[in-house]
Amino acid sequence: MNDKIKINLQMAGFTFPLTINREEEEMVRSAAKQVESRLNAYAQHFPQLQKVQLITMVAYQFALETLKANKRNDTTPFVEKVETLNQVLDSYFQQMEQED
């Protein structure tokens, strides 16, 4: 079921009205809390920076984490290696059959 609800998220001093799937509410609110938490941490460490600079740093941090996670989950090199090994084994077994 696609049960939609309306919520208001507060981040960086702004309120964002959103319509989301009910089952995603916890995740959406958790994401907003992470943004707010990181924004506050950067604000404490870099009090001289403007809010837009802090928000940019938070966005960069999340983007970097996403790229690293995607790279970790990229199985292409492993799949290619397994395919190569399969070809080597197939060739070996074919050669063994021909020798028998």
Average pLDDT over residues 59-78: 86
In the predicted structure, residue 87 carries a pLDDT above the cut 90: no
Distance CA 54, CA 31 (A): 17
Q: Tokens 């707010």, residue?
A: 36
Taking the model in full, what pTM does it have? Answer: 0.68
Domain that holds residue 85: 4-99
Identify whether the C-beta of residue 29 lies closer than 8 Å to the C-beta of residue 18.
no
Number of domains composing the chain: 1
φ, ψ dihedrals at 19, nearest 5°: -110, 120
Query: Would you state the pLDDT for residue 1?
Result: 57
Question: Residue 30's pLDDT band (boundaries 50, 70, 90)?
Answer: very high
- Give the DSSP H/E element, type plus range, for residue 22: none
Instruction: Give the amino acid at 66.
Output: T
Average pLDDT over residues 65-92: 82
Burial of 54 (0-12, 13-18, 19+ CB in 10 A): buried
